[in-house]
Amino acid sequence: MMSVMEVCRLLDRSAIGTDIRESSLLFPIIEGIHVLALSLSVGLILITDLRLMGVVMRNRATSEIWSQFFPWMMSGFGVMFLTGALLFWSHALSAYHSTAFRAKLVLLILSGLNAAIYHFTIYRKMDQWDTAPIPPMQARLAGWTSLILWAGVITMGRIMAYTF
């Protein structure tokens, strides 16, 4: 069985990894699409988190905002995930040795856990607080946690850009 480092070395040295890394256009195009998808996905997450915290759009139902934003959020996340995988592929060995990359992965996992906990708990009771200008403490806490985690993910991503 191959170790994680051996898999990263294999990806890094593959034709696809080399082509992306050494292309004068391919890497910047993929990175640009990654940043645009991040802006779409995390921008909408920011708005929904601020609504959960009762900061913006207090006169609109949380479910209404969620139903309008969710398809766009997930589309942006999907593109962000795909382009992020390609960027990783092109620098897999550097990423393996990067503390910022490891921190980014941990923050992404925690962000996913925060979303899952929110959706399996307080979200299921949304009919009880949907139109409240300020949602219950659990929803506000999920919003704050999400904002902090995504700020960390973005920060670690920017740090990675300067270390490769």
How far is the CA of 61 from the CAs of 41, 56, 66, 85, 128, in angstroms? 20, 11, 9, 35, 11
- Each residue of 19-59: pLDDT tens digit? 999 999 999 999 999 999 999 999 999 999 999 999 999 99
Where do runs of H (alpha helix) occur along 14-136?
Answer: 15-22, 26-52, 62-90, 92-96, 99-120
CA angle centred on 35, ends 51 and 104, rounded to 5°: 80
Cα gap 84→80, rounded to integer Å = 6
**Residue pair 150/46 in contact by the 8 Å Cβ criterion:** yes
Is the pLDDT at 162 greater than 90? The verdict is no
The tokens for 73 are 């959020």
The tokens for 117 are 């906990």
pLDDT confidence bin for 164, thresholds 50/70/90: confident
Compute and round to an integer the Cα radius of gyration of the chain: 18
**At residue 43, what is the residue type?**
G
**Residue pair 65/47 in contact by the 8 Å Cβ criterion:** yes
pLDDT at 161: 86
pTM of structure: 0.92
pLDDT at 163: 85
Cα gap 108→105, rounded to integer Å = 5
- Each residue of 88-100: pLDDT tens digit? 999 999 999 999 9
pLDDT at 109: 98
Cα gap 77→26, rounded to integer Å = 20
The tokens for 12 are 């890094």
pLDDT at 114: 98
pLDDT at 97: 96
